[in-house]
Amino acid sequence: MRKAKKISLPEMFRPLMWSYKFNLMDAERDKRTIIVNTINYGDLPHWRWLSQTYGRQALKSMLMNMPFSEFRPGAIKLMGLLLGLKKLKYASRSDYIKGRTTIVRLNKI
């Protein structure tokens, strides 16, 4: 069995991943963490890298299945505009732990 090649993050991501061991991060293995931190704290170059690396459709699909509570309110609005998302799952902290979710329309935020 062949081991997949590690995909390192560009240096511009280091400030966004301040609480992680940046040199050990892998773009595929740590995809969820990278996407959440980038959407919450990144700039347009970071967003472009996400889109180019993971693909716009895959990114949209992944985001639609993440709880809305993982993102800052301003980031949610921008995410909706840039990616054309209409709704996300909502989960309060206790619902998220229990595994229950509800759909929230982004234009209601």
Got the DSSP string for 22-33?
GGG--TTTTHHH
Residue 36 near residue 71 (C-beta atoms within 8 A): yes
Distance from C-alpha of 62 to C-alpha of 73, rounded to nearest angstrom: 18
Residue 102 has φ and ψ, to the nearest 5°, of -135, 155
In this predicted model, what pLDDT tens digit does every residue of 36-94 receive, in sequence order?
A: 999 999 999 999 999 999 999 999 888 888 887 888 888 888 888 888 877 666 655 55
3-class secondary-structure state, position 91 = coil
- Measured between alpha carbons, how far is 17 from 93 in angstroms, rounded to an integer? 23
Given this model, what pLDDT does residue 63 score?
A: 86
Q: Look at the chain and report how many structural domains it folds into.
A: 1
Query: Is 9 within a domain?
Result: no
Q: Determine, yes or no, domain membership for 3.
A: no
83 in a domain, yes or no?
yes
